[in-house]
Amino acid sequence: MAYKEKQTIAIQDAMDNLAAIANLDMDNPLPIGIVKERRIVTSEEEFGPHTVEWLSGEGSEPIVAILDLTYRAIHQHLLAIHDNPEVDWESDKIRKGIAAMMDLVGESADKVDAFLAFRLGQPLEIPIHSREAFKALQTFYFQYFASRIPEGIEGWEEEGFLDVSGVGFKDFEAIQRDLEYELFYIRKEDGQPYFDPQIVRNIKLSCDFDLNGESFEEDPLLKVRTMQDRDVHASAGQILAECHSAIGEYYRQAHSLIGHGFSEELGMALMALFLAANPRHLLQNTLGKSSFQYFDDFLSFLRRAMRTAEYQKLIAYPPDPSDKVSLVLLHLVHALSKGLFDRVGGVKRETIGLIYRTMRRGEDEKKKEGERLLKGGGLWNQLSLDDEKMRALLAKFPNGPLFKILDLIREEQEEDSYIPFDPIGQGNLPLTQFQLERGTKKTQVIRLPCPTRQSVINKAEIVDEFRGFLRSFTKGQRHLMINLQDRTSWKEFARCKALEALQMSAECSSELIVLTLAKDTAFYYQNHEYLNLHQAKDFLKALGDQFASSEECGIFLPPRLKKAELARFSEALVPLIHELFFEGKLTLTRPNREDFIEIFYQFFILKCIEMIDPSSISFTCKDGIDVGATATGAFYGFIQLLHSGLTNKEEHDFLRWLLYAPALLIRERVVDAERLNRTLSMLERVDACMKKQGGEILKQLGELVNLQVRS
């Protein structure tokens, strides 16, 4: 059963090609891109620096050549499965996975035939079904596999995975990039899901079927779960230490609270927290329940405590100073909530080590493939090259986000219930990352996903622990939330409204200030009607108009900010940025304009911090992973560059940690490339300008905003 070796590609690339072809809409065929002569992409969002758009004038050969490589890769993969004595042919996962893969193979041939006939104006001289690679794969499958595989993928329908209807997700490549995974948790207003059967099939195919068994053992992110376990173990100890006196006072009163629902739930939360802090329960030390699971229990009991009738009554009717027991309970529950947000974790150095190991292994992979390795000329170029190395390596391993989505679908099927989008409740925990110093004043910078819970697209509710965090504040303390969600988008409007409404409530109006900035609009991306806005004067006017018509443009300025003062500040700031960072150029390219917007945002945020004097701030997006992480990294880098610069390895490592850690630890992937590149571009420009005329920049802009802010 010899198979003649020819040029081939990785099985993951082959599966990506089949998924891309499956997403071709023959009623509205979009451009096809070719990546490094081995990948096909059908979404324009996937077109990157290594993507070449296929043009009909090139003929069919570039496309069919990649298809041949795809079929050969699948052929070799099936050969390896056939020769593996450990394959369990009784496993539904194996059999249905192979069946679904071959179903996509047949579909790809039909679709590519139809697509090329449409684009070229005539059928292929040799149809895909008649090409050597396809016929060899087909023959091998029918000879050695067909008798073991059930026809089609009917078994999937029996499991209930395809009992959804309506239009929703159709772009599998977007799901692989993890762009809108929250829509797998959130339902339409009528209760229907946003994903469709085709997407579920592709996810199951990519996840259920072991593409390369050996790759799992080599996956650099395989130990992420143990890192998360150590992180919450350390966090449990930090919370217990911070709440030590409140816990002691609670236990002195507990004997008088038997049968008290609020107290009992608090007691269970404390017990779970003590168990999470016990090193015996680290994954490395136990086969039983882990620290991660106990910490999840802690959060669940904390929420339950805050939903009891006793707690709700104490919030509605605050106890008298003489009611010591009630005051002790309130103090403890709010101290625990605050501890959740104040925690600093315990795996920062370990995460930085993971980032460097992934980069080095990615570099080794590039060497094996014969790619010429470039060395960065300066920090920003080196960061970009290192990012490419990480992506090159992780592309060879199973897609972490897809497995998470599949786990969600299976859990909903098993429990016969819908799981809402609840980032904090699903392990995406807040974290204090660093501290700003403004003279004698200090401000914590907290990594905070959107503190909401959402089951349907038109309604979101604030989670209990965030309310508890705000209730823990003493007089004069306040949190400034830089909300980076798009309030003009149907996907994020409900969460934005919930946050903005919370700050308007009588209870939280002094403790919470929500400033919404647009990071997902046409103006922010400078596309659509703004694509050709090359004249500087037109762009500067458009930037001013964005804030003049703020809410229509996705910006929300809270009442606490004096809009007249901000308007005067913006009017003075814009021409200074133009002169100091762009040399007063009459025309601005699209990258120039994108950098301009980012620089404007940094100074605008500094002004808001000066006006509000918050005790803590956060850069909050739906999950704090892509938009939030890069915004935090941009702000940290910007502050450093205004003063001492990013001059040593420790600062470089900290910036990498801010940018990459959330995506690696929570979604098991790298941060979104577009968001990262935009951040690095802005920082590179600021760095160059500060080196050239830093004194003049600080002098002129220092007259508008307090720049004596250090991290």
Residue 33 lies in a domain: yes
Phi, psi of 169 (to 5 degrees): -60, 130
Say whether both 377 and 288 belong to one domain: no
Q: Count other Cβ atoms within 10 Å, centred on residue 120.
A: 13
Phi, psi of 556 (to 5 degrees): -125, 115
Contact status, residue 641 vs residue 689, Cβ threshold 8 Å: no
Contact status, residue 480 vs residue 612, Cβ threshold 8 Å: yes
**In terms of DSSP bridges, do strands 459-462 and 452-456 run parallel, antiparallel, or are they unpaired?**
antiparallel
Residue 709 lies in a domain: no
**3-state SS assignment for residue 446:** strand
User: 168 pLDDT exceeds 50?
Assistant: no
Picking from 101, 131, 158, the residue at the C-terminal end of a domain is: 158
Q: What pTM does this model have?
A: 0.80
Closest to 38 in 3D by CA, of 60, 12, 58: 12
Contact status, residue 279 vs residue 285, Cβ threshold 8 Å: yes
User: 705 pLDDT exceeds 90?
Assistant: no
Lowest pLDDT segment from 130-144, 156-170, 312-326, 694-708? 156-170
Picking from 114, 136, 158, the residue at the C-terminal end of a domain is: 158
User: Which pLDDT tens digit goes with each residue over 510-520?
Assistant: 999 999 998 99
Say whether both 330 and 354 belong to one domain: no
> What is the structure's pLDDT at 171?
60
Say whether both 602 and 662 belong to one domain: yes
User: 377 pLDDT exceeds 90?
Assistant: no
User: 380 pLDDT exceeds 80?
Assistant: yes
Say whether both 639 and 541 belong to one domain: yes
Q: Which domain holds residue 24?
A: 11-158
Say whether both 585 and 686 belong to one domain: yes
Q: Extract the tokens encoding 406.
A: 């599949």
HSE, CB side, 13 Å, CA atoms: give it for residue 307.
9
Say whether both 487 and 590 belong to one domain: yes
> What is the structure's pLDDT at 537?
96
User: Which pLDDT tens digit goes with each residue over 185-225?
Assistant: 999 998 888 877 567 666 766 665 544 444 555 778 888 99
Say whether both 357 and 236 belong to one domain: no
User: Which pLDDT tens digit goes with each residue over 442-458?
Assistant: 999 999 999 999 999 99
> What is the structure's pLDDT at 205?
64
Residue whose token pair is 């941009």: 634
Say whether both 55 and 125 belong to one domain: yes
Say whether both 333 and 462 belong to one domain: no
The Cα-based distances of 218 to 14, 77, 207, 390, 517 in angstroms read 20, 18, 17, 14, 41
Higher per-residue confidence, 36 vs 311 = 311
Say whether both 650 and 610 belong to one domain: yes
Angle between helices 464-471 and 291-306 (to 10 degrees): 70
* Residue 591 burial (C-beta neighbours within 10 Å; 0-12, 13-18, 19+): middle
User: 289 pLDDT exceeds 60?
Assistant: yes
What whole-number distance in Å separates Cα of residue 315 and Cα of residue 262? 12
Q: Extract the tokens encoding 277.
A: 């802090």
Residue 422 lies in a domain: no
Confidence category of residue 638, pLDDT binned at 50, 70, 90: very high
Say whether both 286 and 361 belong to one domain: no
Lowest pLDDT segment from 565-574, 584-593, 698-707? 698-707
What whole-number distance in Å separates Cα of residue 610 and Cα of residue 606? 6
What whole-number distance in Å separates Cα of residue 455 and Cα of residue 479? 26
Residue 5 lies in a domain: no
User: 603 pLDDT exceeds 80?
Assistant: yes
Contact status, residue 405 vs residue 203, Cβ threshold 8 Å: yes
Contact status, residue 530 vs residue 596, Cβ threshold 8 Å: no
Cα dihedral 67, 69, 75, 81 sign: negative
Say whether both 134 and 281 belong to one domain: no
Closest to 601 in 3D by CA, of 541, 682, 693: 682
Number of domains in the chain: 4
Q: Considering the chain, what is the average pLDDT of its residues?
A: 86
Average pLDDT over residues 581-593: 97
> What is the structure's pLDDT at 83?
80
Confidence category of residue 157, pLDDT binned at 50, 70, 90: very low
> What is the structure's pLDDT at 174?
72
The Cα-based distances of 11 to 334, 391, 406 in angstroms read 51, 17, 20
